Structure 1
Amino acid sequence: MKTDKKDMINRLKRAEGQLRGIQKMIDEEQECIDIVTQLSAVRSSINSLMGLAIAKKIEECFENPSENLEEQEERLQEAIKLIIKK
């Protein structure tokens, strides 16, 4: 799990760097299309990260199931809501 956490943090740092680059592009009044292209890249990166987080949640539900069936169902429904929200 530490590798997953490290990977997620690295992805966030990369997105943070991209956002700072976009701020600079706006400040320098670069072309709108270039700014939108970079924003799209950040959005894609964040969506990917969300997918990884949701996958981890689902994985945990199956690797460490609750003995209480109601609780297990609630955990799975929570993961499904995250997928739908995405």
Structure 2
Amino acid sequence: MNSDTNQADQKKIIHRLRRTEGQIRGVQKMIEENKECLDIITQLSAVRSSIDRVMGIIVAENLKDCFENPQKDIQEQSEKIDQAIKMIIKK
């Protein structure tokens, strides 16, 4: 993650990851309790959505940083933007 990301953004991301961690623990408990497959899959889908959201936030912050604080080396700037775009497309 970019070192310039402000602390408020980092706290939001950490909070979201902790919530996701709780969801994963919930899924583990559901499996231990032999809950219905559909219920487990529904929760796993929510976990995946949460992680996708965190990834999107991080990539967006890095893109924002690229535009707000451009590199002196245009080639390096272009590479950073291309890398961010590839991460978005890869999703």
Is the TM-score greater than 0.5? yes
Q: Report deviation, 1:71.
A: 1.1
- Structure scoring higher RCO (CA < 8 A, sep ≥ 6) equals 2
Kindly provide the CA deviation profile for residues 33-58 of structure 1, in whole angstroms up to 9, marking residues without a partner as x.
11011001111111111110110010
Distance between the aligned counterparts of 2:75 and 2:28, measured in 1?
Answer: 47
What corresponds to 2:90 in structure 1?
85
Q: Choose which of 58, 68, 71 in structure 2 pairs with 1:66.
A: 71
Distance between the aligned counterparts of 1:47 and 1:71, measured in 2?
Answer: 26
Q: When you count helix as a share of all residues, which structure comes out higher?
A: 1
Q: Report deviation, 1:8.
A: 0.4
1:6-25 matched pairs, under 5 angstroms: 6-25=11-30
Which ranges in structure 2 are unaligned for 5 or more consecutive residues? 1-5
Which ranges in structure 1 are unaligned for 5 or more consecutive residues? none
Kindly report structure 1 stretches of 4+ aligned residues shifted beyond 6 Å: none
Q: Choose which of 69, 80, 90 in structure 2 pairs with 1:75.
A: 80
1:46-61 matched pairs, under 5 angstroms: 46-61=51-66
What corresponds to 2:3 in structure 1?
none
| Count of equivalent residues | 86
> Partner letter of residue 53 of structure 2?
S
Distance between the aligned counterparts of 2:86 and 2:59, measured in 1?
Answer: 10
> Partner letter of residue 79 of structure 2?
E
Percent of aligned positions that are identical:
56
Q: Choose which of 27, 34, 40 in structure 1 pairs with 2:32.
A: 27
